Amino acid sequence: MKNLKTLMLLGLAAFTLVGCGNVTSSASSDASSASTSTDTSSSVTPSSASTIDYVSQVHLAMEYSGKAFLTDGIGQVTLTQKVDGDTAHFKQISGSTLTIKGRYNCIDTPESTGMVEPWGHGASLYNGSLLESAKTIVLSTDSHASKAPAVDSTGSRYLVYVWVSTEENAPIADLKLVNLALCQEGWSKAKGATGSDYGSTFILAGAQAQAEKLHVWSDDKDPDFNYDAPTTTTMKAIVDGVDSEGNAYDWVGSKATFTGIVCATGPDQGAAYVNKDFTWTDASGANVTQRYGLYIFTSYVVYAPLKTIGNEVQITGLVAEYEGIKQIVAVSYNEYYPQDDDMKVLSTGNTLAPLTGTAAELAQDKNINVVVTSPKLDCTYGYATLNAATSNAYSFTLYCVDEAGTKLNIYIVDTLAINYVADYSYTDSAGKVTVYKAGTRVAGDAGVAYFKDAASIILTGGLVTYTTTAGVKTYQVKLCNRSNLAVTL
């Protein structure tokens, strides 16, 4: 990633991030005649001798103070997670505390998570540098839209313009449009810009980036994308970060071929935890056996080799890192062309039971991405993250301890619909009592109370870690499917 960091510094030096807007643009081009999607060839090509800073020409025309994005279409937010080059999650600073999953309007950066494409990591890092240095972040929607912001084709993410400033509570004239900055710096082509508030400027900025051959428009290869053939190795080597000679090697960004056994499927559709036991002799001459694991993320595509627990598979993919944990991405499978497949089933019916033990025995770095079954856990407290764009998507983080008082948390993603296993009543802070019938969905504060009142919780899932903003690392068991959760009231 050294070359990418150099490019980032050069890009930031060449581009001064300045304010942007909601309704007005001083760039002179007719949005109605601008080409749509990624076609910028018909736009005016800026002179290479004089680069235009289109970002400085676009300004937010509406005051954001006292407004909320979810109800007014504009409002100040805080960043909760940068996902990739054109996706991030936010929360309003006032009003609803639901999670706003934002998909950036008018651009489409190369992929850098489930699928990895050239220039994707650079786009993600550039987006992150702007968001993480910002002391004011404002979201807005197109002025012709209703106050309720529009959602994308998935129905779970809002289409947003993201404005930033390094000043706290910045005036609107100081806010700069991140979407446009990504387009201007060549980290994305303009997409779906026609008819939007700033469509003409996105087209011009994209044409300029194309003329200057910046990043996605470059004739050169992305120096931080691995174009090489995959290296045959082991899961142990990937996790330990060593090459075939035992020397330190950072596998992130490399293509690798390895084998393992499918031990759990999900929680992302099509994904799976693949584990394998390795035995070696340590320095003292003793035999050591340890289980290793990796998470295979398929971009929500279901592939036959990963559907069945017990399948021994050979996998070829790109080693990536998500929230500090290694995973394998950019895999594909076509049963009609097995010679080209990234996955092959080597054998079936293999048994590799989940690891068991106390919380102290399981909550260790060596067990990351290994499928475990927790001891009996007691939920002390927790919280639900609600997606503002959907009415029934909840994720839960439950803070738990085992009988010895050792911490081991539970993470339930928002795609798993967890139901009450028995009738349950919940009294809210206003004293209102609500009775939930068995089989109804666990939701919000009532769901946290339900888990907190449980006599015991046992679950099977992949062991992962989460690092708080304060730098504290916690261990979590990530539930893979509904059937692997046992709650005793």
Tens-place pLDDT, residues 413-424: 988 889 999 999
Q: CATH 2.40.50.90 occupies which residues in the chain?
A: 2-217
**Which residue is it, tokens 């005036």?**
171
Write down the architecture of domain 2-217 according to CATH.
Answer: Beta Barrel (2.40)
Question: DSSP readout, 144-171?
Answer: TS-SSPPB-TTSSSEEEEEEEESSTT--
pTM: 0.77
Write the pLDDT tens digit of every residue in 119-165.
Answer: 999 999 999 999 999 999 999 998 876 677 888 888 889 999 999 99
Domain 231-352 top-level CATH class: mainly beta
Q: How confident is the model at residue 11 (pLDDT cuts 50, 70, 90)?
A: very low
Strands 87-92 and 100-104 turn out to be: antiparallel
Q: What is the dihedral of CA 54, 59, 60, 62, to 10 degrees?
A: -150
Q: CATH 2.40.50.140 occupies which residues in the chain?
A: 231-352
Please report, for the chain, how many H helices and E strands are present, in that order: 8, 27
Residue 279 pLDDT greater than 50, yes or no = yes
Q: How far apart are CA 349 and CA 351, in angstroms?
A: 6
Mean pLDDT value across residues 255-268? 96
Q: How far apart are CA 102 and CA 87, in angstroms?
A: 6
Q: Give whichever of 226-235, 255-264, 298-307 has the largest mean pLDDT.
A: 255-264
Residue 115 pLDDT greater than 80, yes or no = no
Between 148 and 274, name the one with better pLDDT: 274
Residues 6 or more apart whose Cβ sits within 8 Å of residue 489: 421, 422, 424, 453, 454, 455
Residues paired with 79 in a beta bridge:
90
Helix (H, G, I), strand (E, B) or coil at 52: coil
Write the pLDDT tens digit of every residue in 169-203.
Answer: 999 999 999 999 999 999 999 999 988 899 999 99
Q: How far apart are CA 105 and CA 180, in angstroms?
A: 9
Residue 3 pLDDT greater than 60, yes or no = no
Mean pLDDT value across residues 326-345? 84
- pLDDT for 145 equals 62
Between 431 and 239, name the one with better pLDDT: 239
Write the pLDDT tens digit of every residue in 455-479.
Answer: 999 999 999 998 876 788 999 999 9
- pLDDT for 37 equals 32
Question: DSSP readout, 174-195?
Answer: G-EEHHHHHHHTTSSEE-S-TT
- pLDDT for 49 equals 55
Q: How far apart are CA 281 and CA 265, in angstroms?
A: 32
Residues 6 or more apart whose Cβ sits within 8 Å of residue 471: none
Mean pLDDT value across residues 311-339? 88
> Does domain 356-488 fall into CATH 1.10.540?
no
Residue 373 pLDDT greater than 80, yes or no = yes
Residue 190 is encoded by which pair of tokens?
């303009």
Q: Percent of the chain scored above 70 by pLDDT?
A: 88
- Average pLDDT of the chain is 87
Residues paired with 424 in a beta bridge:
436
Residue 321 pLDDT greater than 90, yes or no = no
Residue 5 pLDDT greater than 60, yes or no = no
Q: Exposed, middle or buried: residue 406 (CB in 10 Å: 0-12, 13-18, 19+)? A: middle
What ranges in 98-154 are assigned the alpha helix state H? Answer: 120-132
Residue 91 pLDDT greater than 50, yes or no = yes
